[in-house]
């Protein structure tokens, strides 16, 4: 599911820039968007409201909304929406940020979204449409620290 999310983040970013027209796409980006649209063209529908069965291992996510942060799991990723399960129910129409991290690849995704439907349950499910330009960023590297053993520099002893 992370591979699909990675492709869709690029699709949403290019689509968002095209829709805003403030930052026009160059020729190679327009070709890339057309290729991505051909790839995801059958996947742009928003899943129907209600409980969504898990098809894959869900992705852990954080949801930042007015009033706080909640944890959730992304159950399904489509070009049309993310379906997320959470103990917290966020009202329809609310704008949120969804954060997903891939520790193995060292990548963080931040997706500006809007809640389009919700279904109460235990846990509850919600559909979120990407509403803005998502961000994909690599983690900052951590400096390597050489352990100090407290040894003095080696000296050659001459007899």
The count of structural domains within the chain is 1
Residue 47's domain comprises 2-138
Distance CA 89, CA 102 (A): 25
In a domain, 154, yes or no: no
Which of the 8 DSSP states describes residue 104? T
Distance CA 54, CA 56 (A): 6
Contacts 24+ apart (CB under 8 A), 37-44: 37/11, 39/7, 40/7, 40/8, 40/11, 40/79, 43/78, 43/79, 43/80, 44/78, 44/79, 44/80
Predicted local distance difference test score (pLDDT) of residue 44 = 83
In a domain, 155, yes or no: no
More confident residue, 159 or 127: 127
Bridge partners, residue 110, by sequence: 99, 135
Predicted local distance difference test score (pLDDT) of residue 123 = 83
Predicted TM-score (pTM) of the model is 0.79
Q: Write the pLDDT tens digit of every residue in 82-113.
A: 999 988 888 999 999 999 998 888 899 999 99
Q: Write the pLDDT tens digit of every residue in 5-62.
A: 889 999 999 988 888 877 788 899 989 999 988 888 888 888 888 767 767 788 999 9
Bridge partners, residue 124, by sequence: 86
In a domain, 147, yes or no: no
**Is residue 144 over pLDDT 80?**
no
Domain CATH code at residue 120: 2.40.10.220
Closest to 111 measured CA to CA, from 1, 3, 22, 11: 11
More confident residue, 4 or 149: 4
């Amino acid at each position: 599911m992370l591979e699909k999310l990675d492709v869709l983040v690029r699709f949403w970013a290019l689509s968002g820039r095209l829709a805003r027209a403030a930052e026009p796409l160059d020729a190679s980006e327009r070709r890339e968007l057309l290729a991505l649209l051909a790839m995801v063209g059958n996947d742009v529908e928003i899943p129907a409201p209600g409980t969504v069965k898990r098809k894959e291992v869900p992705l852990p996510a954080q949801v930042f909304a007015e009033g706080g942060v909640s944890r959730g799991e992304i159950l399904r990723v489509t070009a049309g929406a993310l379906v997320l399960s959470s103990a917290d129910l966020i009202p329809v129409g609310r704008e949120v940020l969804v954060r997903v991290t891939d520790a193995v690849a060292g990548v963080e995704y931040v997706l500006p979204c809007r809640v389009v439907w919700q279904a109460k349950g235990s846990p509850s499910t919600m559909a979120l449409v990407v509403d803005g330009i998502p961000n994909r960023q690599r983690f900052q590297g951590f400096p390597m620290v050489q352990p100090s053993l407290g040894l003095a520099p080696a000296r050659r002893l001459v007899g």
